[in-house]
Structure formats: C-alpha cells, structure tokens
C-alpha cells in the first residue's frame, strides 16, 4: 500500500510497500515522449499509462479518455480544489494534471505505472514519491527539436514559439532527473528506456 508519511518539517511524502512502481517520463515538448511512449506500450502492454486531464483542445485524431481527458478550465479548477490531481502544471497556455486515484490504485495493485509529463509536474511527483524513477528525454539539438515541433504540424506558430522558449530551461534541468536519454534514433532510445526499466 502507499502510505502518506509526514516528517517534522511538515512535508508529506508517499512510501511504497507494494511491488508497484512509478516511472516518470519528462522532457521538452516535441522531443518524442509521446512517440516513445506509444512504442513502449506496444512492446509492453502490461504497463499502465496514466491518462492526464488537460484544458487544451484535442488535436485531430486525439481521442478523449485515451490521449487525454479533455476538460474545460472550470472543471480543471474544481479538480484542483478537490485534490484530485497528484500533480498539475500550466504549460504553454493550458493546464495539465495527473488524476490521483487511478495512479495510486494501480501502484497498490502492483502495476508499473508510467506518466508522461512536463518538468514542473515531474518535480512535484519527485517531492511526493522520492522512490519514483525519472527519465528525461533530450533532443539531439535545439534545431532538431524545432524541426520536430514543426513537422508534427499540429501546433500554431505561437504555440511552437512558447514550447521552444520553455524547452531551453527544461533542458537545463535535465540533471535533476535519474536518467537522461537522447532521442536521436528512435529504436536506440527505446532500447535505452527498456534497459532502464526491466
Ligand atoms: P512530445 O510527445 O515529446 O511532445 P512527439 O512524440 O509528439 O513529442 O514527437 C514530436 C514529433 O517528432 C513527431 O512528429 C514525431 O513523429 C517526431 N519524432 C519523435 N521521435 C523522433 C526521432 N527519434 N527522430 C525523428 N523524429 C521523431
Ligand atoms: P501536449 O500539449 O504537447 O500534448 O503536452 C504539452 C506538455 O504537457 C508535454 O510536455 C506533456 O508531456 C505535458 N503533460 C501531459 N500531461 C501532463 C500532466 O498530466 N501533467 C503535467 N505536468 N504535464 C503534462
């Protein structure tokens, strides 16, 4: 079971006493986290992927409940107030959050749970779950990151600019996380992730 532990400074952390594990993938937008995650889940269907909630509008092809829970700002704020998120952050003009209950239930059931979230949220998770394994995905270069954001072809110029601006400070924080993997060749990056997990 996961238990909340309070220390004398008032911090609350969570301690695992079950075989479940929490794995957090983070890194700048456009680096290929989602692509890597989809391939990883195909290879390892036993992994539990936590579907996040967001106030962002769906991109073409995205499915509610599979890619995200698409909710409005009013509902998001209500979920924040009611403590329904394990972490949440504002990113490039929208809000994103990890639903708490399903993640805790799956870890307690012994599952390997994976989150794919931006850096601020990953920091919040680390503060709550010091035992998590965190993997930071790096681009081969900033130019390549920009190419990928553009070639994805799903964000406006303004959204791409906001993502690139944030990417530089995110990449500077990569050392805060347990493992850094450069997503240059997709298969090599996937193999490196598997080596870290299994
Ligand atoms: P993120 O989830 O980190 O925002 P995506 O998975 O959406 O990033 O990937 C952004 C774009 O980069 C997509 O068009 C994807 O196909 C492409 N991409 C991902 N990994 C690689 C790679 N190793 N080499 C070239 N292109 C990649
Ligand atoms: P996108 O809009 O490209 O799908 O996601 C933008 C950023 O938000 C990505 O870096 C993605 O990893 C991150 N993100 C997705 N879900 C969550 C979440 O639940 N919490 C946080 N903090 N970030 C998330």
| pLDDT, tens only, 100-139 | 999 999 999 999 999 999 999 999 999 988 899 999 999 9
| Residue bearing the CA closest to ligand 1, atom 12 | 148
Distance 9 CA to ligand 2 centre (A): 30
Distance 93 CA to ligand 1 centre (A): 21
Does the beta carbon of 38 lie inside 6 Å of ligand 1?
no
Digit-coded pLDDT (tens) for 22-79: 999 999 999 999 999 999 999 999 999 999 999 999 999 999 999 999 999 999 999 9
Residue 29 alpha carbon, nearest atom of ligand 1: 4
The more confidently predicted of residues 8 and 59 is: 59
Model pLDDT, residue 107 = 94
Does the beta carbon of 14 lie inside 6 Å of ligand 2?
no
Model pLDDT, residue 65 = 98
What CATH number should be reported for the domain whose range is 2-197? 3.40.50.300
Distance 157 CA to ligand 2 centre (A): 18
When the pLDDT of each residue in the chain is averaged and rounded to a whole number, the result is 92
| Residue bearing the CA closest to ligand 1, atom 19 | 32
Model pLDDT, residue 7 = 35
Does the beta carbon of 52 lie inside 6 Å of ligand 2?
yes
Helix (H) or strand (E) run with residue 12 in it: strand 12-16
Does the beta carbon of 151 lie inside 6 Å of ligand 1?
yes
The ranges assigned to domains in the chain are 2-197
DSSP code string of 49-113: EPPPEESSPPPTT--BTTTBEE--HHHHHHHHHTT-EEEEEEETTEEEEEEHHHHHHHHHTT-EE
pTM (predicted TM-score): 0.93
The more confidently predicted of residues 20 and 24 is: 24
Does the beta carbon of 148 lie inside 6 Å of ligand 2?
no
| Alpha-carbon span 98 to 47, nearest angstrom | 16
Does the beta carbon of 139 lie inside 6 Å of ligand 1?
no
């Amino acid at each position: 079971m996961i238990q909340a532990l309070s220390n004398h400074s008032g911090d609350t952390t969570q301690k695992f006493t079950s075989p479940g594990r929490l794995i957090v993938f983070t890194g700048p937008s456009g680096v290929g986290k989602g692509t890597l995650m989809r391939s990883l889940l195909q290879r390892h269907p036993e992994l539990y992927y936590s579907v996040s909630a967001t106030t962002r509008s769906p991109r073409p092809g995205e499915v509610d409940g599979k890619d995200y829970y698409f909710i409005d700002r009013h509902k998001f704020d209500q979920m924040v107030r009611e403590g329904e998120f394990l972490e949440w952050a504002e990113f490039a003009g929208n809000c994103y959050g990890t639903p708490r209950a399903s993640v805790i239930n799956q870890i307690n059931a012994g599952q390997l749970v994976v989150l794919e979230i931006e850096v601020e949220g990953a920091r919040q998770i680390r503060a709550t779950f010091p035992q998590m394994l965190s993997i930071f995905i790096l681009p081969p270069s900033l130019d390549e990151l920009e190419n990928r954001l553009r070639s994805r072809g799903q964000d406006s110029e303004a959204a791409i600019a906001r993502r690139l601006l944030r990417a530089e400070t995110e990449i500077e924080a990569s050392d805060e996380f347990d493992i850094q993997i450069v997503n240059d060749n997709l298969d090599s990056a996937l193999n490196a992730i598997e080596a870290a997990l299994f």
